[in-house]
C-alpha cells in the first residue's frame, strides 16, 4: 500500500500546531503539576472539529477517516500527550461506541453534543479486580420492568468524574459468558451514578483517570446499545480502533521526543562542536528515526484497513505493540541525549518520559497485544 499525506491531514497538522502554541504549551506544566483536567480546552477542541473527527457531518462531526484521526492524535501528543490521550479516549471509545452500535435516535441525541465538545465522553469496561479479565466483571445490571438497575464500580476510567455521558459495560448474564454483558449509555446526573476516587498518576496527569460508581442506578432500556448480551463483543470491536488510538498516541510521544532531541543535539556543544557530530549521539538519532518510520507505516496500514471496513485486529495490535515499545525507547534515548537537563522539568523530554509508560500498559499491555497477534497468526 502507498500512503501519501492528504490535504486534510496537512491542514489538521498545521491547525493543531498553531493551537498548541497558543492554548496548550503555556499551560501544560501547570496542568501537569496540579493534575487539572482542562475541560474548557476540550470545548475549544470541539470548536475545531477535533472532538468528532470520525463522526459524520450529519451528526455534527468532521466526517473524516482514520488517517486524519491519527494525524490529530499524533500532533496533539507531540505537544502534550495528556491532551492527546483524552481526545483519543473521547473519540474512539465513548463517541465511537455510540457511532458504531447506537440506533438512530441515540446517535441523534448524543453524537452532536459529543462531536461539538459540549459534552465529554467516558467509557467503562475496566474494574478494580478484573483489569483485562473483562469476562469476570462484577458490575451487574438486573432487569426491572422497563429499566435495568446497575450496581458496581469501574476504575481507571478516562473522564470518570468529569464526563457528561458514559458508555458502561455491565454483566446481564453469567460470569465468564461472552454473551452475558450489555452496553448502556448512562448520563451524568442519573441517580445512583457518581464519580469516585481520582488517580494520582506518574504521567498523563492532565488527563483525568477516576472511578465510576453505580449504586442502584436505574437505566431505561432505551439506553441499551445494540442488543442485550452484545456488550462484550461490541467492546472487542471498539478496542480494535482503540489500539490505533494508542498507537497514534505513542507515535506522537516518540516524534516529540525525537524532534526535541534532534534540535538539542544541534545546539548543545561539547569539545567545540555540536554533540550531533559524535557518532554516539548521531546513531541514537538514526535508530529513533528508523523505528518511528516503521511504527508510522504499521499505523497507516491499520488505519487504511479500518477506513475500508476490513478486518484489522492483528494489524491494530501490531501497530499498538510496536509503536508503544519504540515510544518508550525514544523517550528514554531523548533523556540520555539531553543528559542532566533531560532530568529537569525545564525541557519537554522529562514529561514525555513520564507520560510514555502508560502506552505499554493502558488499553491492554504489550503482552496482551502479542497474545492477540499470535492468536490471529495461529488460528
Which grid coordinates are listed for 122? 467516558
Cα 227 from chain centre: 26
Contact 177/203 with Cβ under 8 angstroms?
Answer: no
Contact 359/250 with Cβ under 8 angstroms?
Answer: yes
Contact 111/225 with Cβ under 8 angstroms?
Answer: no
For 252-283, letters b (16+ CB in 10 Å) and e give bbbbbbbebbbebbeeeeeeeeebbeeeebee
- CA angle, 49 then 52 then 54, to 5°: 115
- The dihedral region occupied by 114, where left means phi > 0, alpha psi between -120 and 50, and beta the remainder, is alpha
Which grid coordinates are listed for 180? 452475558
**Grid cell 476516587 in the structure block, residue:** 197
Q: Report CA dihedral (103, 158, 320, 337) to the nearest 10 degrees.
A: 150
* Residue 52, helix vs strand vs coil: coil
Which grid coordinates are listed for 7? 490535504
Distance CA 277, CA 223 (A): 61
H or E element that contains 289: helix 279-307
Distance CA 317, CA 373 (A): 6
Closest CA to 85 of 242, 192, 267, 241: 242
Distance CA 369, CA 343 (A): 31
Catalytic residue among 304, 315, 325, 363: 363
* φ, ψ of residue 57 in degrees (nearest 5): -60, -30
Which grid coordinates are listed for 314? 492483528
H or E element that contains 64: none
Contact 210/161 with Cβ under 8 angstroms?
Answer: yes
Please say if 7 is a catalytic residue: no
Catalytic machinery residues: 363
Amino acid at each position: 500500500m502507498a500512503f501519501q499525506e492528504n490535504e486534510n491531514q496537512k491542514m489538521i497538522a498545521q491547525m493543531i500546531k498553531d493551537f498548541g502554541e497558543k492554548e496548550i504549551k503555556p499551560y501544560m506544566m501547570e496542568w501537569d503539576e496540579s493534575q487539572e483536567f482542562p475541560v474548557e480546552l476540550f470545548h475549544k477542541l470541539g470548536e475545531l472539529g477535533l472532538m468528532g473527527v470520525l463522526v459524520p457531518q450529519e451528526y455534527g462531526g468532521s466526517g473524516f477517516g482514520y488517517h486524519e484521526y491519527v494525524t490529530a492524535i499524533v500532533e496533539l501528543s507531540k505537544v502534550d500527550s495528556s491532551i492527546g490521550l483524552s481526545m483519543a479516549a473521547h473519540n474512539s471509545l465513548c463517541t465511537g461506541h455510540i457511532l458504531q452500535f447506537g440506533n438512530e435516535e441515540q446517535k441523534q441525541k448524543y453524537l452532536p453534543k459529543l462531536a461539538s465538545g459540549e459534552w465529554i465522553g467516558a467509557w467503562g469496561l475496566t474494574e478494580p479486580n478484573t483489569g483485562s479479565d473483562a469476562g469476570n466483571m462484577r458490575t451487574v445490571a438486573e432487569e426491572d420492568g422497563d429499566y435495568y438497575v446497575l450496581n458496581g464500580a469501574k476504575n481507571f476510567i478516562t473522564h470518570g468524574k468529569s464526563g457528561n455521558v458514559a458508555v458502561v459495560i455491565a454483566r446481564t448474564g453469567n460470569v465468564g459468558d461472552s454473551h452475558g454483558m450489555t452496553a448502556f449509555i448512562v448520563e451524568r446526573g442519573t441517580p445512583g451514578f457518581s464519580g469516585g476516587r481520582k488517580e494520582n498518576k506518574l504521567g498523563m496527569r492532565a488527563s483525568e483517570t477516576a472511578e465510576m460508581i453505580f449504586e442502584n442506578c436505574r437505566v431505561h432500556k432505551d439506553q441499551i446499545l445494540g442488543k442485550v448480551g452484545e456488550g462484550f463483543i461490541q467492546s472487542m470491536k471498539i478496542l480494535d480502533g482503540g489500539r490505533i488510538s494508542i498507537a497514534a498516541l505513542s507515535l506522537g510521544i516518540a516524534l516529540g521526543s525525537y524532534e526535541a532531541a534532534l534540535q538539542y543535539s544541534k545546539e548543545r556543544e561539547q569539545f567545540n562542536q555540536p554533540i550531533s557530530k559524535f557518532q554516539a549521539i548521531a546513531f541514537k538519532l538514526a535508530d529513533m528515526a528508523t523505528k518511528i518510520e516503521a511504527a508510522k507505516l504499521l499505523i497507516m496500514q491499520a488505519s487504511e484497513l479500518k477506513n475500508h471496513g476490513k478486518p484489522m485486529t492483528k494489524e491494530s495490535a501490531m501497530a499498538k505493540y510496536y509503536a508503544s515499545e519504540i515510544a518508550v525507547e525514544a523517550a528514554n534515548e531523548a533523556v540520555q541525549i539531553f543528559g542532566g537537563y533531560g532530568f529537569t522539568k525545564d525541557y519537554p523530554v522529562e514529561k514525555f518520559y513520564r507520560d510514555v509508560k502508560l502506552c505499554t500498559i493502558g488499553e491492554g499491555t504489550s503482552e496482551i497485544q502479542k497474545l492477540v497477534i499470535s492468536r490471529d497468526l495461529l488460528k
